[in-house]
Structure 1
Amino acid sequence: MRRVAAGAAVLLGLVGATPSAAAEGAPPVFADAHGLTVVEQPSWVDGNERTFVVTVRTAQVPAYSVMEHQVSGEHAIMVTLPDDYTPGKRYPVQYHLHGHPDRPDTVANQRMFEDATVGVPLITVAPNGSGRGWYTNWAHSPAALGQQNWETFHLDQVIPFIDANLRTIPTREARAISGHSMGGFGAFHYAERRPDLFAYVGSFSGGLDLLNQELRAAIAATTQLPGSGTPTVPVDAIFGLPVWPLDGMWNARSPAQHVGPLRGMGVAMYVGDGGDLLDNPIQAVTENRALATNLVTRDHLVAAGIPHTFINYGNGSAWAEGCTGKHAQPACLMADMRHFVRLLTRHLTQP
């Protein structure tokens, strides 16, 4: 029935026009567009009626390594609308890229988006990036999965798809991108590859320096971990082999060393130092190593004369209650997002 409804929308001439209005209290109705096929229409995640999930398919990533609650080839896109989303108004959009191993449509992400945007006229969109997609077009896509063109999926399909189906302000000046951990890498990588799309970029504990040997080892490890998705994939699948002279793709796609395209864009980085390394040592060390990649990126931004916001909140004690500077800590991430949204309200085009 959902596909029939989408087809009816096409027949009624709604595609390419102003996004169709849903019944009062219902989420928006989406139509296929820009290479994405809607396989499940939006449904509210709860009674607050601010956040919904729409599920699509794309030939750019026809199948992928799945984690729990995922169906290979079906891509969940979670959207949080402003609490004043009304006809006659259009809104700026923040795209937020999840970390590894995570999904876009989690309760934690929903709460972060909704809490940070209370009273803020901003749409937040979180697309699927898979547990190990790494927000890039893969060097060697496994035959069992088909092409893994995550970058093409997100930049060339998801963004215009959202503009076609929601009341967005479809311009660079009204669009931002952010991400956590793996998603922080993705946000900077996408902003550097397509500065024509984004006016602001934010990284929350992102792994930003692909020349860092520890980060290379961690990314290579994600290809082999069942917890990052099944099936596992060859070590060289994503960026190629991480050793000279076969590491050209690693070097070319490292955000830290290619900050030039960010000139004229708002730039923000948030990271802790891990705090007490004996307390939750895995998350502590992970954050500490993320800090190292952020410091390299900051140095390149300074050398290039690119203005930016860099917040190293250390052990988190002065950043947010419950934040102890660990990686993927909800209290830290919430504080990151609240600060970033305040920047966006001052710099993005407003309704």
Structure 2
Amino acid sequence: MNAAPAAPVGAASVLPSLPAPNAAGLTLRTWPVAAGQSERLGDASVTTAAVFAAHGGTPSIDPVQVPVRVRILLPEDYQRDPAHPYPVLYLLHGGSGDVEQWSKTDEGNVTAHLKDSAFKGIVVMPEGGKAGWYSDWPGHTDGFFAPQWETFHVRQLVPWTDANFNTVRAASGRAVAGVSMGGYGALRYAGRNPDLFSAVGAFSPGTDIYDPGAQSIIANSTWQAGASILWTGLFDGKFRVTGDTPYRMATVFGPPSTWPGQPTPTAPPRRPRPPAPTAGGRRPHSPVRASWWRGHRRRGSAGRGARTPRPSCAAGRGARTPRPGPAVRR
């Protein structure tokens, strides 16, 4: 006799229990309903070695790991029936924002927006730091620790979500989107992990970290907010990154030589050189350079006082410049 399917969570007063709370590098601390929110919206507080990691010296904070929250919205008809898995949308918050940005009624208001939408899936809204920039920082704060946000979100949170909820466990069932700094993060994650995400959305995203204006914004954010999360470390100088703009950019993204989309330097145009002489002493005839080379040869062989015809490329103002004719065999 088959077991009865689990009752829908929907309007239930309790969130579902999690079958694998400590998995994929995450350790669950609490899993309550988010304060002041729908009973389908839960706050998972977890710890991970990715936030933070000691780097560059002895960390100024003890313990180094701090709790981070992941806000998760379940669909109204959520069930554990594996025959009917749900797609997952990962939403990334913007700079100076936090895990609550997408669910606040005066900001993202995701519950209301999805109520009558075609999307009937799970929404995962993780913490990303006020100025984390969705990167595994190669450098470190002034307190010798660094966040590894990409590791947390991509390598840990995605498999943890699949292990604890009834999800489509393939790229076809995952999308990632974000606003501002989160829009940059969504583009970054989707571009670097096409095996995990099949769709991406970016709202007012940052797209070019080579731009001086963008670099100024990023550098200032690492000084003002640094690696702070919500109120944790916001007024602690050890969470900041001091130094000039190139140093702060390298702290968050590594040296520019490792950044994607390296701009190709353009060399100034060079004047074409005449073809090299052949074994018989004559230079090969080139249809493109023919008029230029004929004038050059005449100038070299003209005697003193002789009139040297100008090559067509040096025609005077208003003169008609003849186009090079086809090659003529001699």
For normalisation by structure 1, the TM-score amounts to 0.58
Quote the residue 1:116 is aligned against: 113
CA deviations on 1:59-114 (whole Å, 9 max, x unpaired) are 011379xxxxxx97111101111122123232000001100101012452785221
Q: Tell me the CA shift for residue 134 of structure 1.
A: 0.5
Q: Which amino acid aligns with 2:79?
A: T
* Equivalent residue runs for 1:311-350 within 5 Å: none
* Equivalent residue runs for 1:18-33 within 5 Å: 24-30=12-18, 31-33=21-23
Quote the residue 2:136 is aligned against: 137
Q: Quick one: which of 89, 93, 107 aligns to 2:88?
A: 93
Stretches of structure 2 that go unaligned for 5 or more consecutive residues are 55-63, 229-233, 265-330
* Equivalent residue runs for 1:29-44 within 5 Å: 29-30=17-18, 31-44=21-34
Contact 1:178 1:201 in 2 (8 A): yes
Quote the residue 2:175 is aligned against: 176
Q: Which amino acid aligns with 1:215?
A: A
Contact 1:42 1:52 in 2 (8 A): yes
> CA–CA distance in 1 between the matches of 2:17 and 2:144?
30
- Count of residues in correspondence between the two structures: 231
Overall identity of the aligned pairs, in %: 31
Question: Judging changes above 3 Å, is the alpha-carbon distance between structure 1 residues 240 and 42 closer, same or farther for their aligned structure 2 residues?
Answer: same
Across the aligned residues of Structure 1 and Structure 2, the Cα RMSD in angstroms comes to: 3.4
CA deviations on 1:183-204 (whole Å, 9 max, x unpaired) are 0000000111111000100101
For normalisation by structure 2, the TM-score amounts to 0.62
Quote the residue 1:162 is aligned against: 161
> CA–CA distance in 1 between the matches of 2:142 and 2:224?
19
* Equivalent residue runs for 1:274-289 within 5 Å: none
> CA–CA distance in 2 between the matches of 1:47 and 1:186?
26
Q: Quick one: which of 59, 71, 83 aligns to 1:78?
A: 71
Q: Which amino acid aligns with 2:223?
A: Q
Quote the residue 1:54 is aligned against: 44
**Larger Rg: 1 or 2?**
2
Quote the residue 1:283 is aligned against: none
**Higher helix content, 1 or 2:** 1
Q: Which amino acid aligns with 1:75?
A: V
Question: Judging changes above 3 Å, is the alpha-carbon distance between structure 1 residues 72 and 241 closer, same or farther for their aligned structure 2 residues?
Answer: closer
* Equivalent residue runs for 1:190-205 within 5 Å: 190-205=189-204
1:103 aligns with 2:112: no
Residue 216 of structure 2 aligns to a residue in which SS?
Answer: helix
Contact 1:20 1:165 in 2 (8 A): no
CA deviations on 1:254-288 (whole Å, 9 max, x unpaired) are 8x99xxxxxxxxxxxxxxxxxxxxxxxxxxxxxxx
1:151 aligns with 2:150: yes
Contact 2:180 2:206 in 1 (8 A): yes
Contact 1:96 1:178 in 2 (8 A): yes
Question: Judging changes above 3 Å, is the alpha-carbon distance between structure 1 residues 148 and 227 closer, same or farther for their aligned structure 2 residues?
Answer: closer
